[in-house]
Structure 1
């Protein structure tokens, strides 16, 4: 009986110590703060942007690709989180502090490179950026400093997002 009381007393004291050690230090008890990033737009604004792209999409589809071209790319949340960790780590190994990503539009070649690429379709890929890289834009013949960072030299881009369904589908899908 004495051993049982000692065990129970030890568990209670251990629980109290863990509570004060873990929960009061902020490691577990701090609520996650969700911050709305600058640049978040309304769905109405997104529809406006999507419709404004229609004429360009039609031009690309009709005269270049000769079929309804891809309008979007999709990545899973896990792939995005994994890529951000990977790119941040790789940027650090290359001597840079990653502070953003840049998304580029691209297109697959007209000839098949490998079986998982859709010949001729538009794609999107992203690259890590760092404000430690001086980036200069040419504007009207004069150099203008950019606010955002340059692409991390040697940073691996992320591609292979899934195309829209169907590829030419407008926002929202």
Structure 2
């Protein structure tokens, strides 16, 4: 009977230790709350923006694709979540090593040139560029510090996403 008491006591101690030392949800543990970011729009607003692009830009953009023998140009780019997360970690580390604080990203529209090969020649692309500021020391000789806005950082941008659907689903 005494062995059974030790076994039960061992299970209770193990359960208590597991409860306190095993990780739970990171947000709960650190007191973080997920907040909807500024700038999030509704699906209906996204559909309206896409419809406006179709109404006012599609024919001009697709005319360049027709010169290359394609019916239409890509109008979106897809990167997997793993690629985006890996790129952000890479860009933060690279920016830091170059003496910059990465504070955001900027997405540019681009066009592949004549040397891109027949599949991409003169067609649209999108690429992501890290933005931020040069790291500065806390102390300054100047009483007035001109705060510059975030600028593109000299870290390699991300390209080579895959062309996405030609229009947001209506």
Do the structures match in fold with TM over 0.5? yes
Q: Give the C-alpha shift of residue 79 in structure 1.
A: 0.9
Instruction: Mark the runs of 5 or more structure 1 residues left unpaired by the alignment.
Output: 134-144
| C-alpha separation in 2, matches of 1:37 and 1:77 | 18
Instruction: Mark the runs of 5 or more structure 2 residues left unpaired by the alignment.
Output: 136-146
In 2 relative to 1, CA 70–27 (structure 1 residues): closer, same or farther, beyond 3 Å?
closer
| C-alpha separation in 1, matches of 2:48 and 2:18 | 53
Aligned to 1:171: 168
Does 1:45 find its partner at 2:49?
no
Q: Check conservation: 2:75, 2:164, Cα contact below 8 A.
A: yes
Does 1:122 find its partner at 2:124?
yes
Q: TM-score, normalised by structure 2?
A: 0.72
Aligned to 1:74: 78
User: Quick check: which one's helix share is greater?
Assistant: 2
Q: TM-score, normalised by structure 1?
A: 0.71
Q: Which moved more, 1:43-52 or 1:15-24?
A: 15-24
| C-alpha separation in 2, matches of 1:5 and 1:35 | 48
Aligned to 2:143: none
Aligned to 2:140: none
| C-alpha separation in 1, matches of 2:153 and 2:58 | 30
In 2 relative to 1, CA 95–39 (structure 1 residues): closer, same or farther, beyond 3 Å?
same
Does 1:152 find its partner at 2:153?
yes
| C-alpha separation in 2, matches of 1:109 and 1:19 | 58
